[in-house]
Amino acid sequence: MTERTKIAALDHGPFLVRGPAVVVDAEGNEFPFERKTMALCRCGGSTTKPFCDGTHSKVGFRAAERAVREEEGQAG
């Protein structure tokens, strides 16, 4: 079985990506990353975008409400 990639949104923090992944910009340029887990910025304030540098805690970033799962049987 191949390793699955897991993306977790931390409350008022970054997206944590665990597992194999490649990050590319709008032009298709890859961002090198060697670790097993990467933190992607959600606040927009990081100086190391697309990666998190902890700025969210300094600027008081508050994430939107958590995603809501669609009720079974309802069209979306």
* CA–CA distance, 52 with 45 (Å, rounded to integer): 9
Which domain covers residue 59, as residue numbers? 1-23+35-63
CATH no. for residue 52?
3.40.5.90
Q: With respect to residue 46, please indicate whether it lies within any of the assigned structural domains.
A: yes
pLDDT digits (tens, 9 = 90+) for 7-36: 999 999 999 999 999 999 999 999 988 888
Q: Is 58 helix (H, G, I), strand (E, B) or coil?
A: helix
Residue 69 lies in a domain: no
Residue 10 within any structural domain of the chain: yes
Q: Please count the structural domains in the chain.
A: 1
- Write down the pTM of the prediction: 0.79
Residue 54 within a domain: yes
Handedness of CA 45, 49, 24, 11 (dihedral sign): negative
Encode pLDDT of 24-73 as tens digits.
999 999 998 888 899 999 999 999 999 999 999 999 999 887 777 776 65
| 6 bridge partner residues | 18
Task: Determine the pLDDT at residue 72.
Answer: 62
Please tell me the predicted confidence (pLDDT) of residue 74. Answer: 55
**What DSSP element (H or E) covers 59?**
helix 55-59
- Which residue from 52, 23, 31 is spatially nearest to 40, judged by alpha carbons? 52
